[in-house]
Amino acid sequence: MRFHFEPLAENVYLSEDGSKVFIIDQTLLPNVSKVIALQTAEEIYEAIFQLRVRGAPAIGICAGYGMFVLAQQIRTEDPQEFLTQFRKYKEYLNSSRPTAVNLSWALTRMEGVVTANLSRPVEEIVRLLGEEAVKIQQEDIQMCRAISEYGLSLIHDGDGILTHCNAGPLATSRYGTALGPLFLGKERGMNFRVFADETRPLLQGARLTSYELQKGGLDVTLICDNMASIVMKNGWINACFVGCDRVAANGDAANKIGTSGVAILAKHYGIPFYVLGPTSTIDLSCKTGDDIEIELRNPDEIRSKFYQEPMALPEVKCYNPAFDVTDHTLISGIVTEHGVCRAPYEQSLAALFEKAI
Ligand code: MRU
């Protein structure tokens, strides 16, 4: 089978012949910017699990391309047998990280291409899978742009913005979600003072957000997570912008661990707190945040990762949830590619899906 793709200038993209997924290895940033190739199911799983590719939309894009790459490795002419093997890869990749719904969303979308075309030859199904994977990324580019526009309408030139974790271009395509309005505003000659929480324990804020903003020429100040309160108290923050990994039907939003603490502080200081993300991150099958599975990660990320020497005894117990859920009552608005949803979220999110269909 021969394919030809024009590689998009993105942090996740397909090789020209469609046989590999390329990603920027985000674990090496900010010191080394290196592109790595993923070809086997194990490599794709490992890259998602270890956060070489991370951020809900980027994980979805990688999974879409990954399934296309793996589909080409299935050796059968029988569409039904192809589906059986395709589903094994799908389930395997889906088990790499549980919280970001974009992973299962993209995998299910790819599976839908197979089930809808079982009457066609396998070769044709594989070609359609390639088209779908490219579409997922192209839609993400448009989605980020639309979210950036809506987000920008909520802030003013000169504002101070606090963000947590990384929801910028590295986590998506092009503009990003939570950082998108800031990059778009910059393009239009606006200036913001951005405060980036370093985001323990994996330091996405320090390693990725401050890197992206600094390189983009924005005014960014890196703070430790426990400094969010003082910068708010100082009057330096006009709004908080964060991304999301899964939003429940009632507006409860899962995002990187520590996000809910930022939202509680923002409420205390009377600062609007916005969650920015695509409709693909909204999971109406979760009624509330209690239905969202929270990923638990290796305790060594707290004890020793990033330190020259361990900072706790190896036998010390650690609790390392990768995400928390921000209660919908703390959220001033959920910014999607179709507009800004406000409370009551049951109604506004349901209406959003009706509009999107
Ligand atoms: O564990 P990570 O780094 O994948 O967590 C990422 C986040 O929490 C982001 O804020 C979220 O995925 C939104 S990315 C646009």
DSSP 3-state of 336: strand
pLDDT at 300: 96
- Burial of residue 116, with CB atoms counted within 10 A of its CB: 0-12 exposed, 13-18 middle, 19 or more buried: exposed
* Average pLDDT taken over every residue of the chain: 96
- Is 193 annotated to bind a ligand? Reply is no
Q: What is the pTM of this model?
A: 0.96
Which atom of ligand 1 is least distant from the CA of 255?
8
Find residue 104's DSSP bridge partners. none
- Among 166, 200, 273, 276, residue to substitute to test ligand 1 (most atoms within 8 Å of Cβ): 166
Report whether pLDDT(263) > 90: yes
Ligand 1 pocket, Cβ-based, cut-off 6 angstroms: 51, 54-57, 100, 165, 167, 171-172, 177, 204, 243-245, 255-256, 322
Using an 8 Å Cβ cutoff, are 36 and 48 in contact? no
In this structure, what token pair is assigned to residue 226?
């426990």
- Indicate which residue of 140, 245, 252, 324 is catalytic: 245
Report whether pLDDT(308) > 90: yes
Residue 87: partners with Cβ closer than 8 Å, 6 or more residues away: 111
- Burial of residue 80, with CB atoms counted within 10 A of its CB: 0-12 exposed, 13-18 middle, 19 or more buried: exposed
Report whether pLDDT(6) > 70: no
Active-site residue, 290 included = no
Using an 8 Å Cβ cutoff, are 194 and 182 in contact? yes
Give per-residue pLDDT as tens, 265-298: 999 999 999 999 999 999 999 999 999 999 999 9
Taking CA atoms, 286 is separated from 46, 90, 177, 260, 339, in Å, by: 27, 21, 22, 18, 21
Report whether pLDDT(8) > 90: no
Please report the DSSP string for 208-250 in residue order: IIHHHHHHTT-EEEEE-GGGHHHHHHTT--SEEEE--SEE-TT
- Is 97 annotated to bind a ligand? Reply is yes
Q: Which residue type is seen at 115?
A: T
In this structure, what token pair is assigned to residue 108?
């299910």
Using an 8 Å Cβ cutoff, are 282 and 316 in contact? no
Report whether pLDDT(5) > 80: no
- Is 339 annotated to bind a ligand? Reply is no
Residue with CA nearest ligand 1 atom 8? 256
In this structure, what token pair is assigned to residue 33?
């910017």
Which atom of ligand 1 is least distant from the CA of 204?
3
Find residue 334's DSSP bridge partners. 275, 341
pLDDT at 4: 74
Q: Which of 6-20, 200-214, 307-321 has the lowest mean pLDDT?
A: 6-20
Ligand 1 center to 254 CA (angstroms): 9
Ligand 1 center to 308 CA (angstroms): 26
pLDDT at 10: 79
Which atom of ligand 1 is least distant from the CA of 172?
15
Ligand 1 center to 11 CA (angstroms): 15
Ligand 1 center to 58 CA (angstroms): 9
Report whether pLDDT(257) > 80: yes
